[in-house]
Chain A
Amino acid sequence: MGSRIVVGIADYKLANAPDTLVTYALGSCVGISLYDAQAKLGGLAHIMLPDSSLFATGATEGRMKFADTAIPDVLGALVKAGADRRRLTAKIAGGANMFRAQGALDADGVSHIGQKNVERVRSVLGSLGIPIVAAETGENYGRTLFVDLESGKMIVQSLGRSTKEV
């Protein structure tokens, strides 16, 4: 049995098989799992916002909050740990719009932070040339993610819904 390694908000962790990476209760945040199936090595990041340039004064201390800075950092750390960049695949989940507004069913005027997070995660992964092999994003419910480093499978748990495995 491997251990379960918890990834916090605006955080990332790397792990090898047989460990499992977990991040709890993603709402508008996005979880990004990068995995090298041959090395059975992976990383999981939990980002809050799309773009670090929104916060000019943020310096480097908050890089894990933002899609544009977190993903390259995780990639760099994985390569340093022995992953082959060309073998990496990504699975992403989260980016929900958690709140419903009265009389605003098309959600106009409410925050689209979840959607913007997903769009940015996709474009950053695209520009780094990492294929997205699974995505459980959007909708209006929270998700807890488990990434099994033995198989690379991502298990997505939500309240009152059946568990998904991708």
Chain B
Amino acid sequence: MISTYSDLGENHIDALREIGNIGAGNAASSLAVLLGEDVHIGVPQVRIEPYENVIRSLGGPEELGVAVLVDFLGEASGVVLFILSMQDANRILSIMAGTPDADEEALTDMKLSAIMEIGNILGSSYLGSVATLTGMQIRVDVPRVAIDMLGAILAEPIAAYGAGENQVMFIEESFSSARSDLHSHVILFTEMATLAEIMKRLGI
């Protein structure tokens, strides 16, 4: 039974990496359809690290980022975050709208809701595959969005899922698209009870 991060062995980490791989792979396929171009995913990483390291690995506390946060609940609870730069957020919207120039202006409400919708599609694809793999019932909540310093954005999920220990576990992957040179990160945070349940379902 898993009750702290130190209970996670190599086999558990492998299983989580596989969940990340399948989840992010599915999300990447959805993104490829939205963009009309190939999207590659990096090797998934399962990391258990002090809070600051999570933020540093994504660019540092004061780095400007756009984040869509998709909460999930049901038999599994946690959050999937998509993080990208302002420039790439604008570029994705231009590609989807079919307009040639990515502008650097502030994101309007309409753009924000388009970004939330993208997050919704990616989050649902990610979590849909986790549900299929584990046989768990997972509900996806309405997406939420923030554009600000990464440290400020990540504080809430870190507090929600990492406060029981002095570090937090997350599954992280990077997406990239070759033609438009887009980069983003997808991160999953979850509760200890969900980790334990996933392992039970997978028979590990």
Contact = CB atoms under 8 A, between A and B. Distances in A.
Interface of A: 8-10, 24-29, 48-49, 54-55, 57-58, 61-62, 65, 96, 98-104, 110-111, 113-114, 140-144, 159-160
B145 interface: yes
B61 A98 contact: no
17 contacts: A9-B155, A25-B151, A25-B152, A27-B152, A27-B153, A27-B156, A28-B156, A49-B163, A61-B166, A62-B165, A99-B146, A100-B144, A101-B143, A141-B152, A142-B151, A142-B152, A143-B152
A27 B154 contact: yes
B155 A25 contact: yes
Closest 8 pairs (CB-CB, A-B): A142-B152, A25-B151, A27-B152, A99-B144, A27-B155, A25-B61, A24-B61, A25-B149
A27 B144 contact: no
Contacts, number: 103
A10 B143 contact: no
B74 interface: no
A121 to B, nearest CB: 14
Chain B interface residue bracket vs A? 20 to 34
Nearest to A50: B159
A8 to B, nearest CB: 6
Given A24-B62, A99-B144, A143-B152, A9 B158 contact: yes
Given A25-B151, A98-B146, A113 B156 contact: yes
B164 A57 contact: yes
B116 A96 contact: no
B112 interface: yes
Interface string B155-195: 11011100111100000000000000000000000000000
B145 A99 contact: yes
Contacts of B116: 102
Contacts of A111: 156, 160
A87 B165 CA distance: 35
Nearest to A52: B163
B6 to A, nearest CB: 13
Interface string B51-92: 110010000011010000100000000000000000000000
Contacts of A101: 142-144
A100 B145 contact: yes
User: Which of B61, B160, B166 has its CB near the most chain A CB atoms (within 10 A)?
Assistant: B61
Contacts of A99: 69, 144-146, 156
Contacts of B159: 28-29, 48-49, 65, 113
B78 to A, nearest CB: 13
Nearest to A157: B62
A54 B165 CA distance: 12
Contacts of A10: 51, 166
Given A10-B51, A110-B144, A111-B160, A98 B155 contact: yes
Given A25-B61, A27-B151, A142-B151, A98 B156 contact: yes
> Which residue, B55, B62, B112, has most C-beta atoms of chain A within 10 A?
B62
Nearest to A140: B146
Contact of B155 (A48, A54, A140): A48
B150 interface: yes
Interface in B86-118: 106, 112-113, 116
Contacts of A62: 163, 165-166
Contacts of B160: 111, 113
A158 to B, nearest CB: 8
